[in-house]
Amino acid sequence: MEPLFEWKWAYWDESRARFVETPVWMTDDEARCDWFAYDDMRSRKLEHTRRDRHRGENPIVEPPESEVDWAKERRVRGERSRYGLPPFVTPTYQELRRTWREHPIPEVKCLALEVQTGRHELSELEAMVADALWHVDKESATIDYARKELRRIRRRLMQVVQRIGPVTEKR
């Protein structure tokens, strides 16, 4: 049996202001596909922890199950520690529709509508930015035109922020 090398990894934790070691060993492929901090320049594998998965003693934490829904797991890991909120899985469009249909509480329905409205606004803003970049990238574009486009996008962002109100939680 060929060796399958795995390592413990470490990443920079902003809240603790230090490197934190992962509790599991991961191969390069597992870390690349499934670890939220793999692409972060401040994460690294710890060479002194290298071991052969096939020859090592039982790991402290078992390797990932093959039946794990990795798409959902990546979403969970991607949301971890974002904006100081607890980890959660972002609901899909179908889940929001189901929530709106099935919940009798008006506040829950309102939250589902708010989430979907925010998604539409983000999509609209992304389209505005793409359009502005396309026009600004042309050779005939001027600084005044770029400023006009940026003011238009800023005005739209201000409308959205005014509609939702201030975000009061300080990070």
Please report the pLDDT score of residue 66 as a whole number: 57
E strand intervals along 14-159: 18-21, 44-52
Amino acid of residue 37: A
Spatial distance between the Cα atoms of 87 and 72, rounded to a whole number of angstroms? 12
pTM of structure: 0.47
Please report the pLDDT score of residue 171 as a whole number: 46
Task: Please answer whether residues 40 and 4 qualify as being in contact, where contact means their C-beta atoms are separated by less than 8 angstroms.
Answer: no
Q: How confident is the model at residue 86 (pLDDT cuts 50, 70, 90)?
A: low
Please report the pLDDT score of residue 60 as a whole number: 45
Domain limits, the chain: 5-84, 93-164
> Tens digit of pLDDT for each residue in 24-82?
788 888 888 777 787 788 888 888 888 887 775 544 444 455 565 666 666 665 555 55
Please report the pLDDT score of residue 107 as a whole number: 92
Closest by CA position to 81, among listed 7, 12, 160: 12
Please report the pLDDT score of residue 61 as a whole number: 46
Percentages helix, strand, coil for the chain (3-state, rounded to 5) are 50, 15, 35
> Tens digit of pLDDT for each residue in 150-166?
888 888 888 888 887 77
CB atoms inside a 10 Å sphere around CB 115: 16
Closest by CA position to 19, among listed 3, 8, 6, 32: 8
Least confidently predicted of 8-17, 64-73, 78-87, 139-148: 78-87
Task: Please answer whether residues 43 and 9 qualify as being in contact, where contact means their C-beta atoms are separated by less than 8 angstroms.
Answer: yes
Listing from the earlier edge strand, what are the strands of the sheet with 44-52? 18-21, 5-13, 44-52
Q: Is 71 exposed, middle or buried (0-12, 13-18, 19+ CB in 10 A)?
A: exposed
